[in-house]
Amino acid sequence: MESSSLTSLPEETTEHQQHPQSLSAFASIPARPPTQSTPSQKYSPLDWLSYFDEEDDISIPESDDVFHVYKAGKEGPVVLCLHGGGYTGLSFSLSASLMKEKVRVVAMDLRGHGKSIAENELDLSIETMCNDVVAVVKAMYGDSPPAIVLVGHSMGGSVAVHVAASKAISTLAGLIVIDVVEGTALASLIHMQKILSSRVQHFSSIEKAIEWSVKGGSLRNIESARVSIPPTLKYDDSKKCYVHRAQLVETEKYWRGWYEGLSEKFLSSPVPKLLLLAGTDRLDRVTRLILPLLPREDVPDEFANLVLNFISRNRIGPRGVEIPGLRRPFQSQPLK
């Protein structure tokens, strides 16, 4: 969610399109035709390798589902990042580059988003998305995963809460939720179809989409937009332009399930937890206890410090021990 509205409950939308077989799973940006003019460098795409160390495709056994992840860092607990609706794991790029000296960051493209491929990309039910996350953890780490801190933004925050409450990850050591509050999220849903359908749907170039995301206010950090917006697009050959990759308009029947009962599930999750908000206007009866904080893309340094301080304060290491070298914070205690 952005601080001015709840347009990030589903943030992006597009028409359904099968993944073309000729498109590489590791293409950094969608294929595009030659352009006749040189685009402004201000909005040109940035390579994800400047922020993450590697990417991988995680195949889920007994299915055709393949989930794309970006990885950074070699040591420490795993900070597993789940993006908001319509975005991808690259929305955590700037903060990942700041955290990877202390922790391992894994940013996942959720079903129907980015480079992930699923048999049913329109099944964004909370149950399916939770199962996806648990399956990815199982495929990556087997029966002995390292200590994991779940970090989720908006829709991804809902998934993180439900996974934590289910106790499906035995080594889950922390939960951080960004910009999602049950009461306000549910109240906003009646406006979402109008918001999504009234947005710009077609772009002549990736640069134009990046420019639109910045000037339209969905992102304020140009660097973040330049690395995170390209994988949210796909090229539509029939329309000869770029469109949004995610098809959130067609998943409306699942939206309410993302947020109903979220406050109680958050409070009942049996791990240390922290809620970060971009403003005070979204506080409901549960979250009045939480200090309003800053969004993760617009101020990645602040967000990275908050995550690392949370890990230090709760003595979360590779196997649940304290990480040397992380300073302890002096403000904002997480809910226990």
**Per-residue pLDDT tens for 290-309?**
333 334 566 899 999 999 99
Tokens 């073309």 belong to residue: 20
How high is the pLDDT of residue 78? 97
Per run of 10 residues, the mean pLDDT along the chain (length 336 residues) is 35 39 43 53 95 98 97 96 96 96 97 97 98 98 95 96 96 94 86 86 96 87 95 96 95 95 94 82 38 55 93 83 48 40
How high is the pLDDT of residue 245? 96
Contact residues for 317 (Cβ-Cβ < 8 A; gap 6+): 76, 77, 147, 323
Mapped onto helix, strand or coil, the DSSP state of residue 66 is strand
Structure token pair of residue 138: 């199982």
How high is the pLDDT of residue 217? 77
CATH architecture entry for 42-200+247-314: 3-Layer(aba) Sandwich (3.40)
Tokens 């922020």 belong to residue: 51
How high is the pLDDT of residue 283? 44
* Segment holding 72, helix H or strand E: strand 66-72
Other CB atoms within a 10 A radius of the CB of residue 280 amount to 12
**Per-residue pLDDT tens for 168-179?**
999 999 999 998
**Read out DSSP for 128-173?**
HHHHHHHHHHHHHHTTS---EEEEEETHHHHHHHHHHHHT-STTEE
**Per-residue pLDDT tens for 5-51?**
333 334 433 333 444 433 433 444 555 555 544 457 899 999 999 99
Other CB atoms within a 10 A radius of the CB of residue 92 amount to 34
The domain limits of the chain are: 42-200+247-314
How high is the pLDDT of residue 3? 36
How high is the pLDDT of residue 193? 84
How high is the pLDDT of residue 218? 80
- CA atoms of 33 and 26, how far apart (whole Å): 18
Write down how long the chain is: 336
Tokens 């206890």 belong to residue: 289
How high is the pLDDT of residue 11? 40
